[in-house]
């Protein structure tokens, strides 16, 4: 649209709309919003005007309402027209969530949510008898554009959405989960792949959501006032029923709800009963939890698979946030997914360990060839990945049993030791106490660092790194030369730590936790912050040809002294090879 609008015009239109007699300007306003060349401030103003108009219309029952009453055709037509505009307004708001302007994004979100509240209140009061209702259709129009877009969700929108609604209002969170599940289901088939940022958007939200209720009494804040009222009424009731409800398996609730959902999906009509049930569920803790795990599971069960990054993000939090709330059937499918991750190797395998362990420990998951798979995870990259501390925590746990065969433990020790020859100081610092603890726990493995076998040459090292079965790897017929060579590591801390292997084994166990979270950065910082106590020693030799190039110079230099000096730094490979 090529016309220019300014804020005066908007105000004028608002005045004309105040009587609600002529509703056509709504059309114009909606046009401004979608137009390209319109100033952000004007759009802003338009939004507010439209919000006022639509909320007035809603409250007056001009958009929604019971059809059966004596409405004449004109009114029905108007209603239909208005409903159309109302829907269009919501859709426009949805596009504005991804506007380039910060204020527009936030305002549109606020306006849509406030209209949602007005609408929900209205339909709650209109039902006979009045019962809390939730404007699910409008909500869908909010959630859908929020999660599905060409661009990822804006940070400010996300934090606003988290702070004001999902993190705060229990009903919104509940319905949000519901809608998300709905969305995931929609893009379930291979033919209709998931939109690009859907999964990552949901993941980001879930990662940052820290206010999941853990107790029934924590469900006490609602966006729609009617639901809040209902909650209050039902508190007494629920108090009475509490004991009964708790004894019931809450998963039954979830089952029922899923069934409800299916039903609703089929009929698509506004079935009052199911709606009622749905709204009532918003005050149930178990339903909340079920929804939460439902979101996770539907998200992970993607036929095309999540991408590596998303997978990893999910794995990081899965064992804490999701697994405790699963029911047996879901656990099994999750376990399959996890073991797939684990067998695929790489970082995700390391991360899947936590969840697998959770399942094995708490839910009696049977995982065959566990140690073999664990052994396979110790590959050439394991000491270099970001999550090695997490992996070593788990590994320490898995190898903590004193009933493990020494051969197995030795294989792990030797394999890690072999890897340490190429590891960073931080990883070595972690590995040495780890090895020390293992050696203390399994004295049979002491052969690895002290053996009286009178062999020399190739027989001294019978270990085969490539053997996948730890029990077949002959680790006990080898020694930890790699760890021993760190006794001359360049970093003094590593050096000193490596020396414990040749000291008397009388030290108590090391507190492994102290050694896990090191990195180049922390070690460098420690080194740099160390106060200089004694005068640091300076280089003794003569520095000639610091910046190289004297290989050629050597011939041209006449001065014997200088020539000698250059000759004396033959070991200086930089001077030999590089000229700056």
Q: How far is residue 37's CA from residue 103's CA, in Å, rounded to a whole number?
A: 17
What's the min distance (Å) between Cβ of 212 and another protein?
Answer: 13
> Of the two residues 181 and 416, which places its CB atom closer to another protein in the complex?
416
The yes or no reply on residue 549 touching another protein (CB under 8 A) is yes
Question: DSSP assignment of 267-302, as one string?
Answer: H-S--HHHHHHHHHHTT-HHHHHHHHHHHHHHHH--
Residues 59-88 that bind another protein (CB under 8 A): none
Residue from 23, 64, 446, 557 that binds another protein (CB under 8 A)? 446
Looking at the Cβ atoms of 9 and 196, the one nearer to another protein is 196
Stretch that binds another protein, among 123-131, 140-148, 219-227, 316-324 (CB under 8 A): 316-324
Distance CA 417, CA 465 (A): 11
Cβ 217 to another protein shortest distance, Å: 22
Q: Does 236 bind another protein (CB under 8 A)?
A: no
CB of 180 to another protein, least distance (A): 21
Name 136's Cβ contacts closer than 8 Å, sequence gap at least 6.
175, 179, 275, 278
CA distance 315 to 319: 7
Out of 389, 399, 431, 445, the only residue in the binding site for another protein (CB under 8 A) is 389
User: Comparing C-alpha atoms, which of 401, 303, 388, 306 is closest to residue 353?
Assistant: 388
Q: At closest approach, how far in Å is the CB of 442 from another protein?
A: 15
Interface residue with another protein, options 206, 219, 423, 566 (CB under 8 A)? 423
412 exposed, middle or buried (CB, 10 Å; 0-12, 13-18, 19+)? Answer: buried
Judge whether 566 and 550 are in contact, CB under 8 Å.
yes
Using CB under 8 A, pick the residue from 24, 270, 472, 509 that binds another protein.
Answer: 509
Question: Does 514 help bind another protein (rule: CB under 8 A)?
Answer: yes
Q: Given the rule CB under 8 A, which of 71-79, 112-120, 226-234, 515-523 is the region that contacts another protein?
A: 515-523
Residue pair 433/487 in contact (Cβ under 8 Å)? The answer is no
Work out which of 7, 526, 564, 568 binds another protein, going by CB under 8 A: 526
Which of the residues 483 through 502 are near another protein (CB under 8 A)? Answer: 483-493, 495-497, 501-502
Q: For the segment 112-171, give every residue that binds another protein (CB under 8 A).
A: 151-152
Q: Distance of alpha carbon 545 from its chain centroid, rounded?
A: 53
Token reading at 443: 């004295």
Q: Using the rule CB under 8 A, is 392 a contact of another protein?
A: no
CB 64 within 8 A of CB 119: yes
- Give SS3 for 369: coil
* CA separation for the pair 486, 217 (Å, rounded): 57
Tell me which stretch binds another protein (CB under 8 A): 36-44, 178-186, 324-332, 541-549: 541-549
Q: Of residues 540, 555, 559, 560, which one binds another protein by CB under 8 A?
A: 540
Gap between the Cα atoms of 411 and 465, Å rounded: 9
Please say which residue, 190 or 577, places its beta carbon nearer to another protein.
Answer: 577
Instruction: Identify the residue among 74, 128, 190, 537 touching another protein (CB under 8 A).
Output: 537
Query: In the complex, what is the shortest distance from the CB of residue 379 to another protein, in angstroms, rounded to a whole number?
Result: 8
Q: Based on the shown chain and the rule CB under 8 A, indicate whether residue 457 belongs to the binding site for another protein.
A: yes
Contact between 378 and 419 under an 8 Å Cβ cutoff? The reply is: yes
Is 455 an interacting residue with respect to another protein (CB under 8 A)?
yes
Residue choice 94, 132, 433, 470 for contact with another protein (CB under 8 A): 433
Closest separation between CB of residue 164 and another protein, Å?
24
Minimum separation from the CB atom of position 172 to another protein (A): 25
Residue 572 is a binding residue for another protein (CB under 8 A): yes
- Residue from the set 102, 513, 567, 568 that interacts with another protein by CB under 8 A: 513
Residue 528's contacts (CB-CB under 8 Å, 6 or more residues apart) are none
Burial of 368 (0-12, 13-18, 19+ CB in 10 A): exposed
Q: Which is nearer to another protein, 19 or 580 (CB)?
A: 580
DSSP codes joined into one string, 139-188: HHHHHHHHH--SSPPPHHHHHHIIIIIITT-HHHHHHHHHHHHHHHHHT-
Contact segment (CB under 8 A) with another protein among 24-32, 186-194, 234-242, 343-351 equals 343-351
């Amino acid at each position: 649209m090529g016309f220019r609008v300014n804020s005066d015009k908007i105000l004028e239109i608002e005045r004309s709309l105040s009587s609600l007699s002529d509703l056509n300007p709504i059309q114009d306003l909606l046009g401004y919003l979608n137009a390209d060349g319109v100033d952000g401030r004007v759009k802003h103003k338009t939004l507010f005007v439209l919000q006022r108009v639509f909320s007035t219309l809603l409250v007056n029952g001009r958009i929604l309402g019971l059809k059966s009453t004596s409405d004449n055709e004109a009114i029905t037509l108007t209603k239909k027209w208005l409903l159309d505009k109302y829907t269009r307004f919501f859709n426009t708001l949805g596009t504005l969530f991804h506007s380039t302007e910060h204020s527009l994004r936030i305002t549109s979100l606020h306006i849509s949510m406030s209209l949602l509240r007005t609408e929900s209140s209205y339909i709650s009061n209109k039902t006979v008898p009045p019962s809390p209702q939730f404007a699910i259709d409008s909500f869908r129009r909010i959630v859908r554009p929020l999660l599905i877009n060409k661009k990822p969700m804006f940070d400010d929108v996300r934090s606003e959405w988290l702070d004001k609604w999902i993190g705060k209002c229990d009903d919104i969170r509940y319905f949000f989960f519901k809608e998300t599940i709905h969305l995931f289901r929609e893009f379930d088939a291979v033919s209709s792949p998931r939109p690009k940022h859907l999964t990552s958007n949901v993941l980001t939200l879930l990662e940052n959501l820290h206010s999941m209720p853990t107790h029934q009494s924590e469900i006490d804040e609602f966006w729609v006032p009617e639901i809040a009222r209902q909650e209050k009424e039902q508190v007494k009731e629920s108090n009475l029923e509490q004991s009964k409800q708790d004894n019931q398996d809450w998963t039954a609730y979830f089952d029922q709800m899923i069934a409800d959902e299916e039903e609703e999906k089929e009929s698509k009509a506004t079935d009052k009963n199911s709606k009622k049930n749905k709204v009532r569920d918003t005050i149930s803790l178990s339903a909340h939890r079920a929804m939460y795990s439902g979101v996770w599971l539907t998200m992970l069960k993607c036929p095309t698979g999540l991408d590596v990054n998303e997978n990893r993000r999910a794995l990081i939090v899965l064992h804490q946030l999701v697994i405790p709330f699963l029911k047996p059937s879901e656990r099994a499918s999750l376990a399959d997914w996890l073991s797939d991750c684990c067998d695929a190797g790489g970082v995700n395998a390391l991360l899947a360990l936590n969840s697998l362990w959770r399942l094995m420990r708490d839910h009696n998951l049977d995982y065959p060839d566990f140690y073999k798979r664990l052994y396979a995870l110790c590959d050439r990259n394991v000491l270099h990945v970001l999550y090695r501390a997490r992996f070593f925590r788990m590994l320490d746990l898995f190898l903590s049993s004193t009933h493990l065969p020494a051969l197995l433990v030795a294989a792990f020790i030797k394999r890690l030791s072999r890897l340490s020859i190429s590891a960073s100081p931080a990883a070595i610092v972690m590995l040495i106490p780890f090895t020390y603890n293992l050696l203390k726990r399994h004295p049979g493995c002491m052969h690895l660092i002290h053996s009286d076998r009178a062999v020399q040459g190739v027989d001294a090292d019978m270990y085969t790194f490539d053997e996948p079965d730890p029990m077949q790897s002959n680790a006990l017929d080898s020694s930890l030369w790699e760890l021993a060579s760190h006794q001359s590591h360049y970093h003094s801390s590593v050096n000193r730590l490596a020396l414990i292997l040749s000291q008397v084994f009388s030290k108590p166990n090391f507190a492994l936790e102290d050694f896990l979270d090191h990195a180049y950065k922390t070690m460098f910082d420690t080194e740099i912050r160390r106060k200089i106590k004694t005068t640091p020693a300076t280089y003794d030799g003569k520095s000639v040809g610091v910046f190289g190039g004297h290989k050629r110079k050597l011939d041209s230099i006449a001065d014997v002294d200088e020539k000698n000096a250059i000759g004396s730094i033959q070991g200086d490979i930089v001077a030999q090879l590089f000229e700056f």
